[in-house]
Amino acid sequence: MTLLWAFIIGGLICVVGQLLIDLTKLTPARILVLFVVAGCLLSGIGWYQRLVDFAGAGALVPLPGFGHILATGVKKAVDERGLIGVITGGFTAMAGGVTVAIVFGYLAALVSKPSGDTP
């Protein structure tokens, strides 16, 4: 049942993004920022953690999940180190995910062949 809810919640987050692309004049970059900020704000008031507890990866993988992890990392770092945690907490919380993205992006670049047909 957890996998089903993860699929449904993750899919609904993606549907909201697609609707924003189709029905508004917002650019994809602005929608990305909107989703990350929404994840931070919802995490700050305690709502996003409830969604994560319910849907698991379905709530953590999309962009609001990135904002949630940033906010959670900052909160933890502030509790542990004080005001300097505002600066270091987000970096510490996301270090693993960013590293994996860079490594796999590099590996994909090594094994792919550019077509040269870029516009």
User: What percent of the chain shows pLDDT beyond 90?
Assistant: 47
Query: Tens of pLDDT along 54-111?
Result: 998 888 888 888 899 889 999 999 999 888 888 888 888 888 888 988 999 999 989 9
Sketch the domain layout of the chain as residue ranges: 2-111
The kind and range of the H/E element at 61 are none
The C-alpha atoms of residue 86 and residue 22 are separated, in whole angstroms, by 36
In eight-state DSSP terms, residue 46 is T
